[in-house]
A and B are shown apart, each in its own frame.
Chain A
């Protein structure tokens, strides 16, 4: 059974760096075609893809946010970490991690999400 769980601070001050951790089980991020993605969703708004790390440690980032994002994997811990710098209130929302299979970009398992509020 594949499970993913996001963790991180619920409240972040503007200009700080947000660090989120995705802890997963039921698959290995070294298996061919496996990826972990991060996506976010402001309250009442659409999903937005943020970043992806694949089985070969290749990384892809949203073109609009790539200067602020860093994704990394800790394979031995079955964790993926997302860092977002220079946080702004517009970055508030639900942050999801999910498993994606590279071929056909199918996101077949999602975490429950973690709510991040950016406020001073």
Chain B
């Protein structure tokens, strides 16, 4: 199974500042068929199901604000919130969609400093 490890477990950022979350996979999730990385990011607020933010490591889902961006390749990925807003307080998860079993990172809690 591909193990996904996020860092940090939590971070506190001032409003308007940048937040960066890291995600590392135990092996490559580069899909040779299209040369894209099979990595997705989700946001989960309390009492709600997760919401898709990013897939193929850097493709923003429709309706997701452009302050959210994804980068990285092969085994190392980042989610960046360029200017943190109050509504971005949530837990963020990375997930590999390279194959089964699908696996998630343990989550990163983002709070306001």
The yes or no verdict on A and B being binding partners is: no
